[in-house]
Structure formats: C-alpha cells, structure tokens
C-alpha cells in the first residue's frame, strides 16, 4: 500500500475535466498549512498542484494579472509575467504564466480576511481592527469603514468582520460573525449571531446567520456562504430573505466564479469542539474545493485533501491552464527580470556552462512533434535510432533484442531530438527503460516535453508509470 504524501488529494474526474475545459486554474489559500496551492488540470483527466509557502495565508485578491496574498504579518503582491513562463530555468516549456513576488506590505498581524482590488486600491477586511482597510506603504493600514456598532479602532476582533462583496467598482455588502463592541464579543453567539450588512450604511439585511463568509455579487444577484451549516445561499436584500442553493457537506469558506460555475472552499470541522459536534456537517466535513453548476444548483465535481490540509480560507480563479507561482522564500525568483518590454532569466550559479564549441541553446519553440512507434522489437529500434538509446542500456542485461517496446520519438526541425522507450508490465503499469535527449538540445525543454508525452500515453490507457519519479518531479 502506498504511503500518503504531503498534499495528497482525491478528486472526481469531472473536476479535472472542468478546469481543463474552462482553461483555468485555482489558487487556494490555507492558513493552517501556510500555503497557497495552485491547482491545474493536465490532459483534462488529472490534477497537478504547486504548493507555495505563504505563512498563515488567508485572504487573496486577483485582478488583471495581479495576485495579493495576506500572510500572518504582511501582504505580498505578485504579478503575472507570462513572457518569463516558458523559459522557467528548472522546467522550461511547462508553464504558460508565472506569478512573481513584486512587493510586500508589512501590516502586522491584522488577521486579514477578504481582499479586493477596487479602483486601483487594495482593500482588505481587517478582522483584528473590525474595519475595512486600505493596504498602503505609508502605514500598516488606513481604515476606511467600520460597522456603525463599532465605537473604536482597536485590535480586539470585536465582531469578527470577515467578508466583503464588491460590484461595479465599489463595496456592496459585508459579513460578520456578530454585532458586539467588546473584545471578541462575537464568540458569545458565534453559531447563530452572524450578520449580513449593507455598505456603506451598515444596515443589517440578515441576522441569525451561522458563521457567514464570502459574500459575492454575481449578475446582480447576492450569494454568500452560511458556513457552519455548509450552505451556499442566495439572498434577496429587498425582502431580507434567502434560499439555500446547495448543501456542500463541509464548513464553507472562499468562493470564486467562472462562467456558470462556482468554486467553493470547504474545511474540516474541529471534531473535538463541542460547538460543532451537533452540526449536520460534523460527520461529512473535509478540506477541499467543490464545483457547483449554478443554473442547475448542483455539485458537479470536487477535490478532497487526504493529507496536510484541514482548513481553507480563499479560492481565486487564475486565467491560465498551467500557471506557476513563486513565493518569496524561493531563491529562483531573484533570477527573474521583467523590464517592461524586455524580460529574461539571469543565469544562476548552478547552471551548467555550455561547451565552447557549441552555441548557447535557445528556449525550445513549439515546432516539435512526437512520433509514436508501437510494439516494435528492440532490435529494430536500435537499428533505426542508435544515438537515442541510453549509453548504459545494454549493460544492465534486463532486455533482449526480441522484447517489444513502444518508442516515443521527439522530432525537432525534422530531426530526432530525443526518445523514450516504454515497455508494458502486465495490464496496469509500464516502465521506461531508456530516456535520452541529444546533447545539442539540453536545456531547451525537450526533456519536459517528452515526459508529458509519456504522461499522455499513461492517461489515455489508464495505467501507471512505475518509474516516473526517476525522470520528473511535478512539484
């Protein structure tokens, strides 16, 4: 039995297919694990993750290639630099966008929840100070609004203000877990003291909510998560009523929309807490993301973490099929230079110098193709592609000339550039006994492209690639 690995997850086939067909990825923040995890689809049938370190990651804001992440004591601003993506030094030819850290605002511990870019300003729900605040470089924050029942700006988390809905370039609604004006007073009735407020009046639209989060306005309709009940609800502000759209089976928090689909974060309940023990979702809660098809009001896919992640705060859409993201603790981001019209990666000390007799290889352009030769004798392959067999292949003595192989040959500029040999091992798995790239194509992304072609073979045939980790590590 395989041992679970960090960030292992289960997911429905529909979830991976949906991300692929929509051409998007998800950014998921988890303060408990201290990560922002980028979730993408590969070949529309499996998920791949990039967990990046952002200590205490909570609220995020995404707008026009910018991504802001609220950490425990700071807000990190990242920007997408797609011109640098294809040449990413350790995995060239893999990514179509890449988010790089560009600035850090040292806010102190504000427990920042929802964040949004609004008319050029970065606004955040400042839970510690019970206010909506602008994040600026001149100070820790600038308070721009407080609920009318809050009498003073103090770091006392009086009402647990948390959610903010923005539409038409302005704030529309906010959520809080209570209406108290004393330190942590919201805790006295946190299971049924939640409120939805109108902005800027602070007028109460709904009360008696169960730990509400993530209000959002979609097509002039107001939705929010009645979190402790695991419900997505649609609110009628005029009549101060709501209807349950779908039950999610977990503590719901974090929501983003793409087209007719909502992607909603869910978290495990703390099972040892007597507060949650009697809730309907106490036995079904898990950490992950659920996809909801809004026109039919139904769940159409999910991903569920089995390791490392218990609590999720936010979910954002990244308009890219295969994005990467670099956190400030990754030294590689220091080698990236984006200069307006010009961008490049600086050569690092670990880079291997090219022989003087060979020119520096340019990044691989997508003018290559793959030739698949199925179930052919090894002797035939050796005759046809002798230079593309591993140098030590014959020395291990595991394969005879009559053994049948499938050859995947990468052709670049009408010449063979690399080859992998695939041999079946029963009906459920295969091995790759030879994998070679011609020296003149080192560093041009051929290795990664060839690995992806083997992945495609595995995916189409629903079989496992036994020694995949010997060649490529997705993380």
Every domain of the chain and the residues it spans = 9-339, 361-470
Predicted local distance difference test score (pLDDT) of residue 175: 98
pLDDT in tens, 76-132: 999 999 999 988 888 888 999 999 999 999 999 999 999 999 999 999 999 999 999
Closest CA to 56 of 27, 38, 30, 26: 30
How do 298-305 and 288-293 pair as beta strands? antiparallel
In degrees, rounded to 5, the angle at the alpha carbon of residue 467 between the alpha carbons of residues 11 and 398 is 150
CA–CA distances in Å: residue 99 to residues 53, 92, 281, 346, 437: 14, 15, 36, 17, 30
Predicted local distance difference test score (pLDDT) of residue 2: 55
Q: What is the dihedral of CA 151, 154, 158, 163, to 10 degrees?
A: 100
Predicted local distance difference test score (pLDDT) of residue 461: 60
Q: How much is the mean pLDDT over the chain?
A: 87
How do 415-425 and 429-437 pair as beta strands? antiparallel
pLDDT at 338 over 60: yes
- b/e for 391-404, b at 16 or more Cβ within 10 A? eebeeeeebeeeee
pLDDT in tens, 305-320: 998 899 999 999 999 9
Number of H helices, E strands in the chain: 4, 33
Report how far residue 103's alpha carbon sits from residue 456's, in angstroms, rounded to the nearest whole number. 38
Predicted local distance difference test score (pLDDT) of residue 90: 83
DSSP 352: P
Report how far residue 423's alpha carbon sits from residue 432's, in angstroms, rounded to the nearest whole number. 6
Please state which of the ranges 148-152, 180-184, 277-281, 469-473 shows the lowest mean pLDDT: 469-473
How do 35-42 and 97-106 pair as beta strands? unpaired
Higher pLDDT, 246 or 277: 246
Predicted local distance difference test score (pLDDT) of residue 356: 38
Predicted local distance difference test score (pLDDT) of residue 270: 66
Name the CATH superfamily for 9-339.
Kelch-type beta propeller (2.120.10.80)
Predicted local distance difference test score (pLDDT) of residue 389: 87
Predicted local distance difference test score (pLDDT) of residue 417: 86
Strand ranges inside 268-335, DSSP E: 288-293, 298-305, 314-318, 323-325
Q: What mean pLDDT is predicted for residues 209-229?
A: 97
Higher pLDDT, 163 or 444: 163
Please state which of the ranges 221-225, 269-273, 447-451, 456-460 shows the lowest mean pLDDT: 269-273
Higher pLDDT, 5 or 230: 230
CATH of domain 361-470: 3.40.630.30
DSSP 172: E
pLDDT band of residue 474 (cuts 50, 70, 90) is: very low
Please state which of the ranges 115-129, 135-149, 383-397 shows the lowest mean pLDDT: 383-397
- Dmax over CA atoms of the chain, in Å, equals 84
pLDDT at 471 over 50: no
Report how far residue 118's alpha carbon sits from residue 385's, in angstroms, rounded to the nearest whole number. 59
Predicted local distance difference test score (pLDDT) of residue 93: 86
How do 112-118 and 121-126 pair as beta strands? antiparallel
pLDDT in tens, 27-75: 999 999 999 999 999 989 899 999 999 999 999 999 999 999 999 999 9
Provide the 10 A C-beta neighbour count for residue 257: 18
pLDDT in tens, 348-374: 544 444 343 334 444 444 456 788 888
Please state which of the ranges 12-26, 410-424, 441-455 shows the lowest mean pLDDT: 441-455
Predicted local distance difference test score (pLDDT) of residue 385: 87
Report how far residue 383's alpha carbon sits from residue 360's, in angstroms, rounded to the nearest whole number. 31
Category of 363 on φ-ψ map: left (φ > 0), alpha (ψ -120 to 50) or beta: beta
Predicted local distance difference test score (pLDDT) of residue 464: 62
3-state DSSP assignment of residue 85: helix
Q: What mean pLDDT is predicted for residues 404-433?
A: 82
Closest CA to 294 of 351, 216, 389: 216
Closest CA to 173 of 210, 205, 140: 205
Higher pLDDT, 214 or 374: 214
- b/e for 216-231, b at 16 or more Cβ within 10 A? bbeeeebbbbbbbbbb
pLDDT at 166 over 60: yes
Predicted local distance difference test score (pLDDT) of residue 355: 40
pLDDT at 210 over 90: yes
Report how far residue 253's alpha carbon sits from residue 194's, in angstroms, rounded to the nearest whole number. 14
Higher pLDDT, 375 or 248: 248
Predicted local distance difference test score (pLDDT) of residue 273: 62
C-alpha 81 chain-centroid distance: 17
């Amino acid at each position: 039995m395989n041992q679970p690995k960090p960030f292992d997850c289960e997911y429905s086939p529909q979830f991976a297919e949906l991300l692929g067909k929509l051409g998007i990825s998800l950014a998921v923040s988890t303060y408990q694990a201290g990560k922002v995890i980028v979730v993408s689809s590969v070949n529309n049938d499996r998920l791949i993750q990039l967990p990046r370190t952002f200590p205490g990651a909570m609220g995020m804001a995404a707008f026009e290639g910018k991504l802001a992440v609220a950490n425990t004591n700071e807000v990190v601003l990242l920007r997408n630099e797609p011109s640098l993506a294809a040449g990413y030094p350790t995995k060239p030819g893999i990514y179509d966008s890449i988010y790089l850290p560009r600035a850090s605002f040292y806010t102190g511990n504000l427990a920042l929840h929802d964040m949004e870019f609004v008319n050029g300003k970065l606004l955040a729900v400042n839970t510690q100070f019970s206010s909506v605040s602008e994040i600026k470089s001149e100070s820790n924050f600038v308070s721009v609004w407080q609920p009318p029942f809050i009498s003073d700006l103090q770091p006392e988390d009086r009402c647990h203000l948390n959610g903010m809905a923005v539409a038409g370039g302005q704030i529309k609604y906010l959520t809080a877990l209570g209406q108290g004006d004393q330190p942590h007073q919201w805790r006295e009735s946190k299971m049924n003291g939640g409120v939805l407020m109108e902005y800027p009046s602070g007028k109460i639209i709904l009360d008696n909510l169960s730990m509400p989060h993530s209000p959002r306005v979609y097509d002039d309709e107001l939705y929010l998560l009645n979190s402790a009940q695991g419900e997505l609800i649609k609110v009628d502000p005029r009549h101060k009523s709501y209807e349950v759209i779908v039950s999610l089976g977990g503590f719901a928090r974090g929501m983003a929309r793409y087209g007719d689909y909502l992607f909603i974060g869910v978290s495990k309940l703390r099972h040892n807490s007597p507060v949650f023990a009697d809730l309907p979702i106490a036995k079904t809660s898990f950490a992950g993301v659920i996809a909801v098809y809004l026109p039919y009001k139904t769940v159409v896919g999910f991903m569920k973490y089995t390791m490392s992640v218990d609590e999720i705060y936010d979910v954002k859409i990244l308009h890219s099929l295969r994005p990467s993201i670099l956190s400030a603790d990754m030294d590689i981001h220091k080698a990236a230079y984006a200069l307006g019209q010009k961008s490049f990666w600086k050569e690092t000390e670990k880079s291997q110098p090219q022989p003087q007799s060979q020119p520096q290889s340019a990044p691989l352009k997508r003018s290559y193709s793959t030739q698949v030769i199925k179930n052919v004798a090894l002797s035939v392959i050796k005759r046809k592609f002798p230079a593309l067999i591993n140098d030590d292949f014959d020395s291990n003595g595991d394969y005879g000339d009559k053994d049948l192989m499938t050859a995947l040959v990468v052709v670049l500029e009408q010449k063979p550039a690399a080859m992998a040999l695939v041999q079946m091992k029963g009906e459920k798995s295969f091995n790759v006994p030879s994998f070679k790239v011609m020296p003149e194509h080192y560093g041009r992304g051929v290795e990664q492209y060839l690995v992806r072609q083997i992945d495609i073979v595995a995916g189409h045939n629903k079989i496992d690639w036994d020694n995949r980790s010997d060649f490529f590590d997705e993380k």
